[in-house]
Structure 1
Amino acid sequence: MSGGDQHYYFGGGDHVAMHGGSGNVGIDKRVTPAQEVPPAVQEALRELLALAQELRAQVPPAGADALDGALPALRAESDVPPQERHRALLAVAGIAATIGTLGTPIIEATNKVLELMGAK
């Protein structure tokens, strides 16, 4: 070792290399439990997901691709961070807004989910 570099090997698993500094913590392996999604939010997400899947057939290919990227985060059983779900909701609402009145039910459903999540 040179220049204050330290290397630590923990059996066959983790390898930690620290390059200088002080007060280094290393690896934090705490596991954060999945956030429980309230039943009302789960139901609203299911309704929105059904509407969004119907919308997919009515938008151009680029919009369909964007929906494909957002839909997994809208599944009630998906364990996604709230900010990821929020981004997906905004993406779906934006796509729905581009198709005019056909997208109105999706925008309303998105707003309902956002309100239930306390994001609006």
Structure 2
Amino acid sequence: MSGDNYYFGDSVTMHGGRDNVGIDKRQMVSDDASAASAEMLAAVQELLRLVEELRTRVPAASARTIEDSVPALSPDTAAQPQDRHRALMAIAGIAATVGAVGQPVLEAVNRVLGLLGGQ
């Protein structure tokens, strides 16, 4: 049967008229979302502070890995989720290998991962 039409998702057809708005799905950001964003921002900032401290206490190769990972964690960066996860895992690995010195960083990484939903 030729000429069949299949539509998936939203479809809007308007013919003339004025003040057309289109689709208004009434999607709103709840206060819980903004609270979660503030919590995430605070957790990431704390992690970045701890990572800077750790960077000065690890071998040069590990310090370079940390430096390479930090941009993916920055709140100003639109990093892909897999890049962010990879950076968190790299930092966690380094923190785990240095023992007690890395423990606060490891805890901060776990806190961020928890807020991200365990990505």
Q: Give the TM-score, by structure 1 length.
A: 0.67
The structure whose residues are more often helix, as a share, is 2
1:49 paired with 2:44, answer no
Equivalent residue, structure 2, for 1:75: 74
**Aligned-residue offset at 1:39:** 2.0
Inter-partner Cα distance in structure 2 for 1:79 and 1:39: 17
**Aligned-residue offset at 1:77:** 1.7
Q: Which has the higher contact order (CA 8 A, sep 6+)?
A: 2
| Number of residue-to-residue matches in the alignment | 85
**Aligned-residue offset at 1:54:** 0.6
Inter-partner Cα distance in structure 2 for 1:103 and 1:110: 11
Give deviations 1:45-89, integer Å, cap 9, x for gaps: 110000001100000000001001101111122110111111100
Equivalent residue, structure 2, for 1:115: 114
Alignment-mate amino acid for residue 79 of structure 2: V
Which runs of structure 2 are paired with 1:1-120 in the superposition (5 Å)?
A: 38-119=37-118
Range that drifts further, 88-97 or 72-81: 72-81
Inter-partner Cα distance in structure 2 for 1:83 and 1:39: 22
Equivalent residue, structure 2, for 1:6: none
* CA root-mean-square deviation: 1.7
Inter-partner Cα distance in structure 2 for 1:67 and 1:109: 14
Q: Give the TM-score, by structure 2 length.
A: 0.67
The structure whose residues are more often strand, as a share, is 1
Unaligned runs of 5+ in 1: 1-35
**SS of 1:38's equivalent?**
helix
Unaligned runs of 5+ in 2: 1-33
Inter-partner Cα distance in structure 1 for 2:75 and 2:96: 23
Alignment-mate amino acid for residue 47 of structure 2: L
Q: What is the percentage of aligned positions where both structures have the same residue?
A: 46
Alignment-mate amino acid for residue 93 of structure 1: A
